[in-house]
Amino acid sequence: MYARLIGTGSALPQTEVTNDALAQRLAQDGIETNDEWIRTRTGIEARFLADASLGEGTTQLAVLAAERALAAAELTPADIDLIICATTTPDQIFPSTACQVQAKLGAAGGAAFDVQAVCAGFLYALNVADSMLTSGKFKRALVIGAETLSRVLDWKDRSTCVLFGDGAGAVVLEASDDAGILACKTYADGRLGTDVLGLTGHLDNGVLAGDPFIRMDGRQVFKCAVEGLSTSGKAVCDEVGVDPSDVALFVPHQANLRIMTMVAKKLGIDMDKMAKTVACHGNTSAASVPLALDVAVRAGNVNKGELILLQGVGAGMAWGSCLLRY
Ligand code: ACO
């Protein structure tokens, strides 16, 4: 029994903000940055930012992405008995984003819950969905990554605020005898904790306690990301007995083009096979992998029967890789 990928979808907020436009906005608060710095250090050229006044938020983006994935799979919400949503930026603490998505889709009755593994969230959600489908207990799953990280960025901290964007991506997985997910591995090292990448803000007796913004040691994250993605990518390929160069589509977490390029080189994967939506989306955290996957699938960059390698890494530190046959 396999969990087979049968549909993808994604959604972005309406407002695109280029590096130049962002630099102009930040300059109004006396923060200096420029397109050249952002592009050469990260590969990012623009990002999409959610606007609450337009009704945009994590749940709304998740629902749109899910509807598009269901349409691609030629299914209706009633066909789904499991919804897992990876998010670090839910619109509210509870009920979960997955339950809200279930309600908005009209898919009540199945299981629905969120997974919180920050930028590695989609890989963790995929691993959980794979286990639940191959156990025989569930038939069809919607696995979603959705984020509005723009709400937790310190717009006065130029070392973080230029990196992120908002969005959502979703996949439909079906329990099947035909090949799908071949290997999925997730890891964490909690010792590389809040000091490396964290957001400590929380509610305490009706008031906000801690720091409400993302804080990051960029160089540490860089090193952990390259190491975690390279070793986990190799581990799933070894488990299946294929060489990473056999992969037809490589979708690493879209955080930084320099990280992605180093990982592709270490794995021996041709750069032409790598999804590179980080340029136009920025880092959308748990949404980045399903968003980039959907763009690649819709562009015809992978054919049925070919191998896809998906990878996530984020705060925790947490990371993982998934090798699947499309
Ligand atoms: N514009 C202009 N200058 C800037 C900016 C900016 N937006 N941000 C920082 N600088 C300056 C710094 O102040 C510093 O100036 P100084 O030398 O005068 O002190 C200089 O640029 C160099 O700063 P560094 O932090 O050393 O730059 P570095 O080359 O390490 O690049 C970066 C920083 C891009 C964050 C890099 O470390 C990185 O990509 N790390 C990975 C982080 C990441 O991907 N995080 C995403 C979240 S986690 C995840 O998704 C896995």
What does the pLDDT read at residue 266?
Answer: 98
pLDDT confidence band for 279 (50 / 70 / 90): very high
In this structure, the residue with its CA closest to atom 26 of ligand 1 is 219
| Rounded-to-integer distance, Cα 39 and Cα 34, Å | 9
What does the pLDDT read at residue 234?
Answer: 98
What does the pLDDT read at residue 8?
Answer: 98
The mean per-residue pLDDT over the stretch 156-179 comes to 97
pLDDT confidence band for 289 (50 / 70 / 90): very high
| Rounded-to-integer distance, Cα 37 and Cα 42, Å | 8
pLDDT confidence band for 290 (50 / 70 / 90): very high
pLDDT confidence band for 41 (50 / 70 / 90): very high
The alpha carbon of 41 and the centre of ligand 1 are apart by a number of angstroms equal to 7
Instruction: Write out the two tokens for 74.
Output: 């030629």
Give pLDDT tens digits for 220-238: 999 999 999 999 999 999 9
Give pLDDT tens digits for 71-98: 999 999 999 999 999 999 999 999 999 9
% helix / strand / coil in the chain, to the nearest 5?
Answer: 40, 25, 35
In this structure, the residue with its CA closest to atom 34 of ligand 1 is 41
What does the pLDDT read at residue 159?
Answer: 96
The alpha carbon of 219 and the centre of ligand 1 are apart by a number of angstroms equal to 8
Q: Which residues line ligand 1 (CB under 6 A)?
A: 33, 37-38, 41-42, 119, 158-159, 162-163, 197, 216, 218-219, 221-222, 225, 253, 255-256, 283, 313-314
Give pLDDT tens digits for 118-150: 999 999 999 999 999 999 999 999 999 999 999
What does the pLDDT read at residue 203?
Answer: 96
Q: Is the pTM of this model over 0.95?
A: yes
What does the pLDDT read at residue 40?
Answer: 97
pLDDT, averaged across the chain: 97
What does the pLDDT read at residue 22?
Answer: 98
CB 117 within 8 A of CB 190: no
What does the pLDDT read at residue 137?
Answer: 97
The alpha carbon of 283 and the centre of ligand 1 are apart by a number of angstroms equal to 14
The alpha carbon of 269 and the centre of ligand 1 are apart by a number of angstroms equal to 26
Paired sense of beta strands 307-314 and 318-325, if any: antiparallel
| Rounded-to-integer distance, Cα 72 and Cα 123, Å | 21
Which atom, in ligand 1's list, is nearest to the CA of 224?
Answer: 51
